[in-house]
Amino acid sequence: MKRTVLSTILVVLAGSVLQLAGSPAQGAPPKSGKIRHVVLFKFKDDATAEQIKTIEDAFRALPSKIPQVIGFEWGTNQSPEHLAQGFTHCYLLTFRNQADRDAYLRHPAHKAFGKLLGPHLDKVLVVDYAPGD
């Protein structure tokens, strides 16, 4: 009986491994409803390193304040192709579905971040997509 239980757990775990290994970032079919939220920033020329760091930290804190954010990563541009149109910061947020993305957009913590960001922002670009391979 114990072996049966262990085997069952094993099969379930193996299934989880396959499912996770096949996440959209690895080229598997789209998960139902998942939304990727891509955000690009170009800061004003007079934004100081300290001001930019404050904004970076504030954005990084949003997932701890807004539970609908199930994935968060970011980095600064390092493309050698010179096609970034001045954008320096790229953020990739993931939501379970459109409703969670909408809840994020109207969340007070997101609004507060926008107020912090606004004075230092030259331009912003946002694209959301439902990931498929």
Rounded to whole angstroms, the Cα distance separating 94 from 101 reads 8
- Locate tokens 């010179």: which residue? 82
Q: Does 130 bind its own copies (CB under 8 A)?
A: yes
Instruction: Tell me the backbone φ, ψ of residue 78, rounded to 5 degrees.
Output: -140, 25
Considering only residues 55 through 94, tell me which ones interact with its own copies, judged by CB under 8 A. Answer: 60, 63, 70-81, 83-85, 87, 90, 92, 94
Q: List the x/- string, 20-39, binding to its own copies by CB under 8 A.
A: xx-xxxxx--x----xxxx-
One of 7, 33, 61, 99 touching its own copies (CB under 8 A) = 7
One of 49, 108, 115, 127 touching its own copies (CB under 8 A) = 127
Q: Does 124 bind its own copies (CB under 8 A)?
A: yes
Rounded to whole angstroms, the Cα distance separating 16 from 22 reads 10
Residues contacting 38, CB < 8 A, separation 6+: 90, 91, 92, 125, 126, 127, 128, 129
Give the count of residues interacting with its own copies (CB under 8 A): 57
Rounded to whole angstroms, the Cα distance separating 71 from 37 reads 10
User: Which residues make up the interface to its own copies (CB under 8 A)?
Assistant: 2-3, 6-7, 9-10, 13-14, 16-17, 20-21, 23-27, 30, 35-38, 40, 60, 63, 70-81, 83-85, 87, 90, 92, 94, 98, 102, 105, 124-133
